[in-house]
């Protein structure tokens, strides 16, 4: 899995935590859907380690079966991942893609707080949930 920007680059306030993105079994958070689901989720954490709510999270790019992906969520709306959690549903099954999807944090004025983080997805029921943690660095 591609990992981009583990150190502050371009002056962004948030970077991905070491080891993120990672792929896990979606049944960990959605035991009822089994292999009939795939998604991307995570949370944002402040400088002092507290969950950050109210940031916009944009998911973009493309993947097989979807010409274009453009979704918006907000941190704090998926508390199963932490108080600053977010979640996107990608498809009703695991789908493999390689670096064609990205995720990015924005503030309330739509200014970017992180770089675009490109990631892979997998056609594997044990890897149908991509977890991405953002940590504030300044």
Instruction: List the structure tokens of 65.
Output: 């079966």
**How many structural domains does the chain have?**
1
Summarised one tens digit per residue, pLDDT across range 75-119 is: 999 999 999 999 999 999 999 999 999 999 999 999 999 999 999
Residue spans of alpha helices (H) in the chain? none
| Residues 67, 56: Cα–Cα separation, whole Å | 23
Which H helix or E strand runs over 40? Answer: strand 38-45
| 107 lies in some domain | yes
Question: How large is the average pLDDT for residues 24-32?
Answer: 95
131 pLDDT more than 70: yes
Q: What is the pLDDT of residue 67?
A: 80
| 8 lies in some domain | no
| Residues 89, 69: Cα–Cα separation, whole Å | 11
| 5 lies in some domain | no
Q: What is the pLDDT of residue 65?
A: 84
Instruction: List the structure tokens of 81.
Output: 């991942």
Q: CATH number, domain at 82?
A: 2.60.40.10
Domain of residue 127 covers 14-136
| 38 lies in some domain | yes
7 pLDDT more than 60: no
């Amino acid at each position: 899995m591609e990992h981009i920007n583990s150190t502050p680059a371009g002056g962004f306030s948030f970077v991905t935590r070491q080891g993120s993105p990672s792929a896990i079994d979606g049944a960990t958070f959605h035991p009822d859907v089994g292999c009939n689901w795939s998604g991307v989720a995570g949370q944002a954490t402040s400088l002092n380690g507290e969950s950050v709510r109210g940031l916009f999270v944009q998911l973009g790019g493309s993947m097989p079966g979807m010409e274009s992906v453009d979704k918006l969520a907000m941190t704090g709306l998926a508390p199963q991942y932490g108080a600053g959690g977010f979640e996107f549903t990608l498809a009703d099954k695991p789908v493999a893609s390689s670096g064609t999807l990205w995720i990015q944090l924005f503030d309330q004025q739509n200014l970017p707080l992180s770089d675009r983080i490109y990631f892979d997805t997998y056609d594997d029921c044990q890897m149908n949930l991509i977890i991405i943690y953002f940590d504030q660095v300044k």
